[in-house]
Homo-oligomer: A and B are copies of this chain.
Amino acid sequence: MGVVVPLEEEVNRPASIGPLVELTGPDMERVNRMILDRAGSDVEMIPEVANHLISSGGKRLRPMLTLASAAMFGYGGEHHVRLATSVEFMHTATLLHDDVVDESDLRRGRSTARTVWGNQASVLVGDFLLGQAFRMMVDAGSMDALGVLSNAAAVIAEGEVLQLSVAKNMETTEDDYLAVIRAKTAALFSAAAEVGPIIAGASRAERNALKSYGINLGLAFQLVDDALDYGGSQQDLGKNTGDDFREGKITLPIVLAYRRGSEDERAFWKSAMEDGLNDEAALERANALIARHDSLADTIARARHYGDIARDALAPLPGSDYKSAMLEVIDFCIARVT
**Which of A's residues lie within 8 Å of B, judged by CB?**
41, 43-46, 97, 100-101, 119-121, 123-125, 127-128, 130-132, 134-135, 137-139, 141, 143, 146-147, 150-158, 160-162, 164-165
Contact = CB atoms under 8 A, between A and B. Distances in A.
A88 to B, nearest CB: 16
A337 B100 CA distance: 37
A46 B159 CA distance: 11
Contact of A131 (B100, B131, B156): B156
Given A125-B157, A131-B158, 19 more contacts: A45-B164, A45-B165, A46-B158, A100-B123, A101-B119, A124-B164, A128-B157, A128-B158, A130-B130, A130-B157, A131-B151, A131-B152, A131-B157, A134-B150, A134-B153, A135-B151, A135-B154, A138-B146, A146-B146
A89 to B, nearest CB: 10
Q: Which of A119, A124, A130 has the most CB of B within 10 A?
A: A124
7 contacts: A101-B120, A127-B130, A130-B157, A131-B150, A131-B152, A137-B150, A138-B147
Query: By DSSP majority rule, is chain A's interface helix, strand, loop, or mixed?
Result: helix
Contacts of A43: 158, 161-162, 165
Copies of chain A in the complex: 2
A154 B138 contact: no
Given A100-B119, A146-B138, A150-B135, A157 B124 contact: yes
A45 B161 CA distance: 7
A164 B123 CA distance: 12
Nearest to A163: B124
Contact of A161 (B124, B155, B156, B165): B124
B119 A97 contact: no
A162 B157 CA distance: 25
A43 B182 CA distance: 14
B132 A154 contact: yes
Contacts of A157: 124-125, 127-128, 130-131
Nearest to A38: B154
Nearest to A160: B124
A32 to B, nearest CB: 20
A41 B160 CA distance: 13
Given A147-B138, A151-B135, A161 B128 contact: yes
Contacts of A131: 150-158
Nearest to A128: B157
Q: Give me the 10 closest cross-chain CB pairs, A-B, nearest first.
A: A131-B154, A134-B150, A127-B157, A128-B157, A131-B153, A101-B120, A124-B160, A43-B162, A138-B147, A124-B161
A141 B124 CA distance: 28
A143 B41 CA distance: 24
Contact of A46 (B124, B135, B147, B161): B161
Contacts of A44: 165
A34 to B, nearest CB: 15
A158 to B, nearest CB: 6
A224 B137 CA distance: 36
Contacts of A41: 158, 161
A154 to B, nearest CB: 3
Nearest to A93: B127
